[in-house]
Structure 1
Amino acid sequence: MSKKYTFIDLFAGCGGLSEGFLASNSFEGLAHVEWELPMVNTLRNRLEKKWDHTQEDAFKRVIHFDIQKTKELINGSWTKETKNIYEDTNHPDIALGGLKKIINKKKIDFIIGGPPCQAYSIAGRAQDK
């Protein structure tokens, strides 16, 4: 088996872009970051049911977070405000050590990120109404 390239998916949504990479069998998703909880839950469920991740691994890899808090996302050590918002919906390792702890010194080959889903995202056309 050849080496799999690794990636982090920012703005992951329900995981459609990640799914395309994973389906090629040439990539491993190290982490997926999304700030809308229903999408986070869908992606975690998909990793378990379709891609055979354990529940704990899916909970750890799919991070419910606001990407604008970049330092906290990467390093952990969350502020009290951040803990109040995100601590209950993420694996404890993320709050403590951020992406660095989850990735654990693995090389990241790609960072991917999809555009907002126009029909559903609060950043897409749904806001035009």
Structure 2
Amino acid sequence: MPAPTPADSAPHRPRKGGRKASPLAEKQRHVVSVRLTDKEHELLTVEAERYQLSQGEVLRSVWLKQDTATKLPAPLTPEQARQLVQLVGMAANLNQITKLAHLQQDQRTGATTVLGQLHHLLNSLGHQAS
């Protein structure tokens, strides 16, 4: 039995659904090979992982001078994440104190405590930035 030829096979039907094709001018159809030293490759890998981009996206952003990678904030460290949670909690406390103050209830003790915590956290953030 002979192998089916293209003429024997079913006609090609375009796929339905899925992502729409971008205009031909915007398609990235060309592949360029670049040679890097071990150190350069390591730096590219670290940069790509840091900003959660592919190595090609990092190179393209630098080449096109878009500075995409440098504009993205670095991922939070565990310490920064903990401090952010503290700030969110303090903001909620301040909102509660403000609400009670509007009801003419004395909130000096609560306000003093929250402001002290905020002062301590801001001081620790200032020392980390130095």
TM-score, normalisation: structure 1 = 0.21
Which has the larger share of strand? 1
TM-score, normalisation: structure 2 = 0.21
Larger radius of gyration: 2
